[in-house]
Amino acid sequence: MTDATLSTQALLSLEDVKTLIAAGHRLLLAGDEHLLAQLPPGAWIAGTIPYFMAASGGTFSHEGIFVTELPADIVGAEIKTYDPATLASLYQDIPDNGFGVVILPASSPAHLEFAVHAPEYDGFAMRPLIGWISGVDLADLGKVAPKVFDGRTGACLENAAVVMHVRLHEHQVAEIGIINLFGQGPGDVLEFPETGFSAGDVLVNGERRNFAAYIKERKLNLQLPLVADYAGAMINISFQGVDEASGRVNFYAPVFSGVTYRQAQPVVDYVADFNQALATADHGVVTFSCNCILNYLFSKLEGKQTGRFTGPITFGEVAYQLLNQTMVFLTITSTN
């Protein structure tokens, strides 16, 4: 157990995680459903995924659980679950001096509700909310539903958000960071008439077109997301695929009407660009981080390291709202 007791972020065995739970540690967990279902009740929340950024690099494992242990000196942590009808109160429940960590199951009604409506909820972005979208082995897509777990009872949930609300001391400050290597390219300006996870028509420089036909005509690389500029913050919308029969394009996050998008410029070397981005900022001590499954796949991150950032590889990231093809992280610093 030496490694487990010394590590606050690590890929551990089932038995090591059981020991940490029994000792009362507050944990954020990621792993296969069959492992998470064997854990005893305790102060933990979890989501299903077999992809991780471990200390040794990008890793695929059905036998490890990735553990993020919250700092021992926090004031307290409370677990809550939200169904689609109660999600709107999520931000208001975050402590005044603290943060929330949320996990939602991919493609569930709870996921879709949060993705589309989170910016409309009372208290949106007033306090830090970070988290991720749980998933499955890509070979099981469409066969196995992603899950989240409420560690208080071990309940396994397919259509709910599980949240750890963390309260900090007055001298502590939680901050969220986003590393997004994608910026807007020089291409056409795209606007969508409707908000949603799919689109039929699009306004291309103001001209209405069928988006599927436009993609085929321009031979767009669907590994590059659409990018919106929100007052200098780059927000990605990743492509899920094109349904040529229906003429619709599907996304991993919703496009919003009234927002202008351009397709991203290519990233030639993800790891090199990532390390360069790290060198330009001082991030302090990282408490939690996660990276996107699309970065893992398209940038071939298996076996590659992304500095000191480790954590689950996810079906979507949450930094106040749903993001795609980013890495998000949370730091806790002291003002003393």
Average pLDDT, the chain: 92
Q: What is the pLDDT of residues 172-231, one digit of tens each?
A: 999 999 999 899 999 999 999 999 999 999 999 999 999 999 999 999 999 999 999 887
Residue 312: band (very low, low, confident or very high) from pLDDT cuts 50, 70, 90: very high
Helix, strand or coil, per DSSP, at residue 238 = coil
Here the tokens at position 222 are: 């669907």
Q: Does residue 148 register a pLDDT over 70?
A: yes
Residues of the chain with pLDDT > 90, as a percent, come to 83
In sequence order, the 6+-apart residues with CB closer than 8 A to the CB of 207 are none
Residues constituting the chain = 336
Q: What is the pLDDT of residues 47-78, one digit of tens each?
A: 999 999 999 999 999 999 999 999 998 999 99
311-314 vs 286-292, strand pairing mode = parallel
- Rounded Cα gap, residues 177 and 150, in angstroms: 26
Q: What is the pLDDT of residues 169-185, one digit of tens each?
A: 999 999 999 999 899 99
Ramachandran angles phi, psi of 209, nearest 5°: -140, 160
CA angle 88, 40, 72 (to 5 degrees): 70
Residue 269: band (very low, low, confident or very high) from pLDDT cuts 50, 70, 90: confident
Chain centroid offset of residue 174 CA: 17
Q: Does residue 165 register a pLDDT over 60?
A: yes
The pTM score is 0.92
**Exposed, middle or buried by CB within 10 Å (0-12, 13-18, 19+), for 97?**
middle
pLDDT of 104 reads: 98
- Rounded Cα gap, residues 160 and 109, in angstroms: 8
Q: Does residue 116 register a pLDDT over 70?
A: yes
Residue corresponding to tokens 């106040």: 320
Here the tokens at position 120 are: 């409309």
Starting at the edge strand found earlier in the chain, the sheet holding 321-323 runs 76-82, 161-167, 98-105, 129-134, 317-319, 321-323
**Exposed, middle or buried by CB within 10 Å (0-12, 13-18, 19+), for 99?**
buried
- Rounded Cα gap, residues 327 and 139, in angstroms: 23
Q: What are the Cα distances from residue 252, in Å, to 46, 116, 167, 239?
A: 21, 11, 31, 6
E strands present in 83-171 = 98-105, 129-134, 148-150, 155-157, 161-167
- Rounded Cα gap, residues 311 and 30, in angstroms: 8
